[in-house]
Chain A
Amino acid sequence: MSQFRYISPKTKEEVLKILEEEKSEACIVAGGSNVLPYIRDKIIPPKLLLDISGIEELNYIKKNGSNWRIGATTTISDLISSKIIREECNILCQAAEQFADPLVRNKATIGGNLADASPAADTAPPLLALDAGLEVESKGKKREIFLKDFFLGPRKTALQDDEMITGINFKSDSLNKPGCFIKLGLRQAMAISVVTVAMVLEIEENRVKDIRVAMGSVAPIPLRLFNAEEFLKNKHLNDDLIEEAKNKVYEEVNPISDIRASAEYRCYISGILFKRALEKLTNQTS
C-alpha cells in the first residue's frame, strides 16, 4: 500500500525540481486548509505532500508603477494587513475580509485559493475583474496564464503536473480603483458563498467607459461576464438599462443546486447582486 510522504523545501528551485521528478505524484500544500480535509475525506490518494508554506521568496506584495505582483504563498491575512492593498486595491481587501474566518485566513494563501479552483473561491472574482495573470513555473520554464483561461472546471486548472503558481500579477489603472466585492453567504462568517460578485467600473460623462465583472458560485468556474460588460459599455446608466443588463447576467450564469442554494435562487440572486454592485459603484464614483 502506498503511503503519504512529506517534504518541505526551502527554495522555489527545490520545489520545481521535485515537481519535475514526481509530477502528479506530488501534491502542493501551502495553507493546508483545503488539502487536509481532502486527505481526511480520501479525496487525495497517498502522495508526496510538497509543503511550500516555508518558502519566503514566494510571500510578497509588490507594486512597481502600475504593475502589481503578489507571491503565491501570500496569506489572506497578509492581504488584509497590507496598507497598499487596502488603499490602492480595495476590491481585493474586501474579498480577503470576507474570506472564511480569521483563523483560516492566517494560513490560506492566494495561490492555494486559485489552484484549488473551486467555483466559490473568494479571491477569484476580484482577480478576474482586475484582469489578473498567473505566473506559472516548472523546472527551467516560465509562462503566464490569464486567470480567465486558468479555470477549466470545478477543481480543474490549466496547470501541468510539473507546474506551480509562483505569483499573480495585474495592472492597476484608474478603472481598478473603485471596485467592489459582494458576497452572499448563509452566515456572516465561515461561509462558502451562495453567490459573489466583483466589479470594477469607470464612468465618464455619465457613460460606462469601462466595466469588468466576475462572479463566483454561478458556474463550474469563477466567471467573467463578458456579455454583460459589453452590453453596458458606452451606455448611459439608468434603471431600464440595468434591468436589461440583468437579463444578460441571467443568460451568462449557469449555476448548480447544492446544499447552500438552488440553481434557480442562485440565478435570481446573481442579477440582484450585479445590480447592487453597479449601484454601489455609481454612488461612489458620481
Chain B
Amino acid sequence: MMEEYPIELTINGEKIVSTAKAEESLLRFLRRHGFYEVKGGCEKGDCGTCTVIMNGKAIKSCITLAGQANGKEILTVRGLEKEESGRKLQESFVQHGAIQCGFCTAGMLMTAKAYLDENHQPNKVEIRKAISGNLCRCTGYKKIVEAIYAVAEENQKSK
C-alpha cells in the first residue's frame, strides 16, 4: 500500500521499469516517460484521443490507472510503424485525407488497429460503431471510415 509503487511494463516492445504514483493515470505515466505521442484530451474518458492498445485491446489511457498496466504490453501510435498492419493504416489515413487538425488521429489509429486485428470483414456501419468512442470534430468521420475500410478491403484481397 504505497503512495508510489514499482511498475514494470512493455511499451512498443521496450521494457520499462519504473514507479507510478497511486492515483496516476496510464496517460500521465506514459507522458512522464516520454511517450508524448499519447495525447491528453478531456481526461475523463469522453474523447478517446488518449487511446492505446493494452494486451490487444483498445482502451482509454486517461481512465486507466498506471498500475492496471503492470506486467502488460502497451502499444502507442509510435509503435504502429513497427507492424505492417499499423503502417497500412497510417498510409491509408494519409491517402484518404483522414486527418485534419490531428487531435483524434493518434487515438483513432489505435482503435482502428485493435478493431481490424479482431474483425477482418467489417462493413462501414460496423467501422463507425467501432470508432464511436473516438471524437473527431473535423472530418465528419467519413474519410476516417473510408481509410479504415480501405485497409480492411486490402487485407481481404491479399488473403
Is B truly associated with A? Answer: yes
Nearest chain B residue, comparing its CB with the CB of A33: B63
Q: B45 — which chain A residues lie within 8 A by C-beta?
A: 33, 36-37, 104
Per-residue contact bits, chain B 48-90, to A (CB 8 Å; 1 contact, 0 not): 1001000001111011110110100000000000000000000
Given contacts A3-B3, A4-B22, A101-B48, contact A190 B65 (CB under 8 A): no
Does any Cβ of B come within 8 Å of A141's Cβ? no
B118–chain A nearest beta-carbon distance, Å: 10
Partner of B65, one of A18, A32, A104, A188: A32
Does any Cβ of B come within 8 Å of A8's Cβ? yes
Does any Cβ of A come within 8 Å of B46's Cβ? yes
Contact A103 B1 (CB under 8 A): no
| Cα–Cα distance between A7 and B22 once the two chains are bound (Å) | 8
Does any Cβ of B come within 8 Å of A100's Cβ? yes
A175–chain B nearest beta-carbon distance, Å: 30
Contact A6 B1 (CB under 8 A): yes
Kindly state the interface size class of chain B when it binds its partner.
20 to 34
21 contacts between A and B (CB under 8 A): A4-B22, A5-B3, A5-B22, A6-B3, A32-B64, A36-B25, A37-B44, A37-B63, A49-B67, A51-B65, A51-B68, A100-B133, A103-B51, A103-B133, A103-B134, A106-B57, A106-B58, A107-B60, A107-B63, A107-B64, A190-B46
A residues with a Cβ closer than 8 A to B are 3-8, 18, 29, 31-33, 36-37, 39-41, 46, 48-49, 51, 53-54, 77, 100-104, 106-107, 188-190
| Cα–Cα distance between A29 and B62 once the two chains are bound (Å) | 14
Contact B70 A8 (CB under 8 A): yes
B129–chain A nearest beta-carbon distance, Å: 7
Given contacts A103-B111, A106-B58, contact A190 B63 (CB under 8 A): no
A46–chain B nearest beta-carbon distance, Å: 8
| Cα–Cα distance between A33 and B43 once the two chains are bound (Å) | 11
- List 16 additional A-B contacts (Cβ < 8 Å) besides A51-B67, A101-B48, A190-B132: A4-B22, A6-B65, A7-B1, A32-B63, A32-B64, A32-B65, A33-B63, A36-B25, A40-B44, A49-B22, A49-B67, A53-B68, A102-B111, A103-B60, A107-B59, A107-B63
Partner of B67, one of A6, A48, A107: A6
Given contacts A7-B1, A103-B59, contact A36 B133 (CB under 8 A): no
